[in-house]
Structure 1
Amino acid sequence: MSCVPSPRHVAVLLEESLMAIKSQFPTGPKILLDATYGCGNFSKAILGNTKVTTKLDVFKRTRIIACDRDPKAIKLALNVESYNAHKVVPCFTKFSELYQNSPEKEVDVVMMDIGFSSMQVDQEDRGFSYLKDGPLDMRFGQYELVHELFTPSDWLRITGRKNTGEEDMKAEDVINRFSESELITIFTKVSIFHPFD
């Protein structure tokens, strides 16, 4: 994942977020948890590595817990210059396990920029792009093994289909081969038994 600035990639409400934090913590928060680190735009601004109009002197003592489900984002967090100064601590986790995996159990501020970034859309191998051909994957944490999610056997079982040697199906095969009613059944049951986190 490259975090080269793109005309389409803008950190949403960056200035407003920094001002809101400053208004609540005039001397700066001690610990800030960036729950959706991504390319680190919010964190880099706090560290003074991004040009913003907000004065950042109150963040001098702020320690950042950089959380993300995407292993590529965590790799980027490890490369942040301030990591060596222990100002940025990477945390590889997903939302549902944020508390148990965070190295700090008490934080002053939690920042979340929910969704996926344009940089993930730009990479066709991630499966988020509607502009480029690629596998239908759409997982932030591509490290997750298929058996941790749903296997083709699960798709067959959920829809009541008989097993006809389709164990090696991919998500794109399910979308293209299954009927509309079977897909509705899958999406309904998956959202109940495996809620998105």
Structure 2
Amino acid sequence: MACPARARDVRRRDVATHRAGGFFAVSVGQRQPPKPSASLSPESPPQVTDLNTNTHITVLLNEAVDALAIKPSGVYVDATFGRGGHSRKILEKLGDKGRLIALDRDLAAIAAAAEIRDARFQIIHSHFSAIKQALADAGVQQVDGILLDIGISSPQIDEGERGFSFRFDGPLDMRMDQSRGQTAAEFIAGATEQQLTGVIKDYGEERFAKQIARAIVATRTGGGAITTTG
């Protein structure tokens, strides 16, 4: 997924990786991983939203951050900022000389990051797959740890206008980064039946993919536009 930018140190120092729930942490220079909390469970979801308050809650927060074995003066990367639960916890553990770089492709996450007023913190609008270039652009040559909490974030599901859930009749967008690329509605409007079948089968693991694709094409042929999740 991601590895330490301090590549030359790998030959001389230990690199520890820790994975549980939905997070993956890489820490440089730690010989023994921290003892997991009793609540650490691979089946636990990485993030949830309190449906009563619409407040985002980061699950396994302490376990994920503890796995980084943070040094007060270290440089760390939160490669999936989300709503900033992990980043804020990391900042609590960093000293005055520490630094945290966060990445996210979601504009809503970038807006949430703007609320963090801390000179040690920097947010970059980028996907974690482009972490090498993002860090180079930020002038970072080596890091002490990287945290990834990969997967869809619950606020993306809870916001109907994003089009990720059938719970709301919203626009069929489904883009992680709403500043670029086709919306799902635009793709559906122009894709062939074969393309639709492939996407539904490969990404949705749907055994009736061909029948669904045929129904979509039939709806289009009849003049019906598929633009919402409802």
TM-score (norm: length of structure 2): 0.54
Identify unmatched segments of 5+ residues in structure 2: 1-47, 201-207, 215-230
Does the Cα contact within 8 Å between 1:32 and 1:110 map onto a contact in 2? yes
- In the alignment, residue 126 of structure 2 is paired with which amino acid? T
Does the Cα contact within 8 Å between 2:91 and 2:100 map onto a contact in 1? no
Does 2:66 align with 1:66?
A: no
What is aligned with 2:63?
Answer: 16
Q: Which of 169, 186, 209 is the aligned partner of 1:180?
A: 209
Q: How many residues align?
A: 148
Which deviations, in whole Å up to 9, do the C-alpha atoms of 1:108-130 show, x marking residues without a partner? 11111111222111210011223
Does the Cα contact within 8 Å between 2:79 and 2:102 map onto a contact in 1? yes
Cα pair distance change 1:134/1:97, threshold 3 Å: same
Does the Cα contact within 8 Å between 2:73 and 2:96 map onto a contact in 1? no
Q: Which of 53, 56, 80 is the aligned partner of 1:36?
A: 80
- Rounded to whole Å, the distance in 1 between the matches of 2:107 and 2:133 is 18
How far did residue 142 of structure 1 move? 1.1
Aligned Cα root-mean-square deviation (Å): 3.2
Does 2:173 align with 1:137?
A: yes
Does the Cα contact within 8 Å between 1:47 and 1:60 map onto a contact in 2? no
How far did residue 39 of structure 1 move? 0.8
Which deviations, in whole Å up to 9, do the C-alpha atoms of 1:168-193 show, x marking residues without a partner? xxx9xxxxxxx8327679xxxxxxxx
1 or 2, which has the higher helix percentage? Answer: 1
Identify unmatched segments of 5+ residues in structure 1: 49-55, 161-170, 172-178, 186-197
Does the Cα contact within 8 Å between 2:163 and 2:170 map onto a contact in 1? yes
- Rounded to whole Å, the distance in 2 between the matches of 1:182 and 1:154 is 18
- Rounded to whole Å, the distance in 2 between the matches of 1:156 and 1:111 is 39
1 or 2, which has the higher strand percentage? Answer: 2
Cα pair distance change 1:183/1:29, threshold 3 Å: farther
- Rounded to whole Å, the distance in 1 between the matches of 2:191 and 2:209 is 14
- Rounded to whole Å, the distance in 1 between the matches of 2:189 and 2:156 is 29
Q: Percent identity?
A: 32
